[in-house]
Amino acid sequence: MTRRRHPVMILVAERKLADFIRPPTPHGVLEASGVIAKAAHYYVIFDNVRRIARIHPSLEPGSKRHLWFGPKRQGDGYEDIAFSRYTCRFYLLIEAEKHPDGTYKALIDECDESAQYKQRRWVDFAFEKRNTGFEGLTAVRWRGRIICSRSARGTGAAPAARDARPVQGASTCCSARVRSGSLWLASSCRGG
């Protein structure tokens, strides 16, 4: 039996993001939590800054081609970033914030390709604590709809959510479809 070879990724160089773009925080720390490659740039989001960095692929330190993409928004930061070629929008995941119903729920901010903020929607899935929300995000088009799939570490689901959905174990994967209005509806949640 012939053994199949798989391509291997090799780290060629390593640099701090602060070498490319000036941190907007007083202490100068950037905690990167997600990145996508789109067209000729890398779009990086941060756990501690609610802002997007646009990094040129030359990776030349201090280059003026590295820019902040859009204005800084209020809050701690984003957990992940996704882009839909179908809607031409970036989807920015906020792990969890206090919802008017008293639970914590994730939010997804949306902005267009020119960094214009379009809207924010709650994800219809409750967590008991603020720091146990969704961590990863992917946007796909399926049957004419945009679906955002998210993943979470730990359950952290509020009791009602745990009773309503089979969520258990160390990770959770969910899909959500957009409903007109201000809500992403959770579906297909399962424990890992």
Which 3 state secondary structure label does DSSP give 158? coil
The encoded tokens of residue 115 equal 């960094």
pLDDT of residue 43: 96
pLDDT averages per 10-residue partition of the chain, 192 residues = 78 86 85 91 93 93 93 88 91 90 89 93 82 76 65 50 38 51 55 42
Q: How far apart are CA 150 and CA 173, in angstroms?
A: 6
Q: How far apart are CA 78 and CA 106, in angstroms?
A: 10
The encoded tokens of residue 130 equal 């603020």
Q: Does the global pTM surpass 0.85?
A: no
Q: How far apart are CA 173 and CA 187, in angstroms?
A: 10
Q: How far apart are CA 173 and CA 192, in angstroms?
A: 8
169: left (phi over 0), alpha (psi -120 to 50) or beta: left
pLDDT of residue 160: 44
Query: Where are the domains positioned within the chain?
Result: 31-191
Helical ranges in the chain per DSSP H: 159-164
